[in-house]
Amino acid sequence: MKVWNRRECMSRFGIASLSLLVTPRILVSGLLAEEPRITISPLNMLRDEDEIALGRQFAAALEKEQAIVSNAMIDSYLGKMVSSMAAQSQRPSLPWSIRLVNSHEPNAYALPGGFLYVSRGLIELIGSENELAAVVAHEIGHVVGRHATNRLLLIFTAHTVLKPVLDNLDKQNRIIEKIIVDLGGATALLTKLRFSLKEEEQADLLGFYDMLRAGWDPKGFLKLFARLEELEKSSGGSPISFLSTHPPAPERAEAIRHELTLVTVPAGAVSDSTKFQIFKSAMGLLPEPPKAA
């Protein structure tokens, strides 16, 4: 006998008929909708404060390798978006932050503890505010799921440096920085994290609900995936590093379309704004990224 999962039941019998059966649940515009719930890996014994300390030290090492742009307008615009979205996530109490990387290569990444980064090239690629919100929401999803933390712990364990990392999380020394350098540097370590397809899918769904609750139209995911699909096609088969671990864009879009059948997007949900267009225009005023050594 086939056993249907919750999503199959909801699509076959309708949302209202399951209102007494579905847990956990969230209420979005009067409809019952499902959001992934996070379980902590038994291999991850870090407290939130430990994860934050790890992320802070990793971020310090990363920012020595990356060209970070900082000015009042950019920091304020990105910061307000992240704080609004993170407040609606399953980990609202983390010290969330986001910084702009001066690189024309489209990219975005999330470190343990809520330290987010988005590249100038990704801003230049997209065309509307809810596309950027989808990017940010996806990265918040990775932090909520502890994906980077779990992967880093595995890497440290494999290189037999987990104990010195844990012993020095809250110390003002350079031991963790030296460990990161010895492992190839923070940027190289980021490329080794390689989230699973399941983790990428989970980050999309977590982001979908954070974005919806925070007031952005989650159809921005569909616009974003369409752009990424075009980017892949225009590359002529050349691999695009930041997409290498993600499911194909059409598959990701199909999952979001299904989710959209379970909720009602409010009429006032933000799709674009003048502030975003000004923010994007500012990318053209930035100095050119430094040339690689």
d(CA 129, CA 146): 26
d(CA 151, CA 190): 10
E strand segments, 57-125: 68-69, 97-101, 108-111, 115-119
Amino acid at residue number 64? K
Q: Residue 45 corresponds to which tokens in the numbers above?
A: 């014994």
pLDDT category at 25 given cuts 50, 70, 90 is very low
Residue-wise pLDDT tens digits, 136-189:
999 999 999 999 999 999 999 999 999 999 999 999 899 999 999 999 999 999
For the segment 61-72, the average pLDDT, to the nearest whole number, is: 96
d(CA 10, CA 255): 15
Residue 52: closest CA among 88, 107, 93: 93
Residue 35: closest CA among 140, 112, 114: 140
Domain ranges of the chain: 1-34, 43-260+268-284
Q: What is the pTM of this model?
A: 0.87
Backbone angles phi, psi at 28, to 5 degrees: -120, 115
% of the chain beyond a pLDDT of 70: 85
81 within 8 A of 136, measured Cβ to Cβ: yes
Apex 121 CA angle, 147 and 71, nearest 5? 90
β-strands 97-101, 115-119 pairing: parallel
d(CA 18, CA 181): 53
Q: Provide the terminal-to-terminal Cα distance of the chain, rounded to the nearest Å.
A: 61
Residue-wise pLDDT tens digits, 227-237:
998 988 887 65
User: How high is the pLDDT of residue 3?
Assistant: 34
